[in-house]
Amino acid sequence: MDKTLSLRRTAEMAAVFMIGDGMLGLLQPDRHVKLWRSDVRAVDALVDRFDGKPTLRRGYGLIQIAGGLALASALRSPRPTR
Give 22-31 pLDDT, tens digit per residue.
999 999 999 9
Global confidence as pTM: 0.83
Phi, psi dihedral angles at 79 (to 5 degrees)? -65, 140
pLDDT at 56 over 90: yes
- pLDDT, residue 78, reads 62
pLDDT of residue 22: 97
In percent, how much of the chain has pLDDT > 70?
91
Give the 3-state secondary structure percentages of the chain, helix then strand then coil, rounded to 5: 75, 0, 25
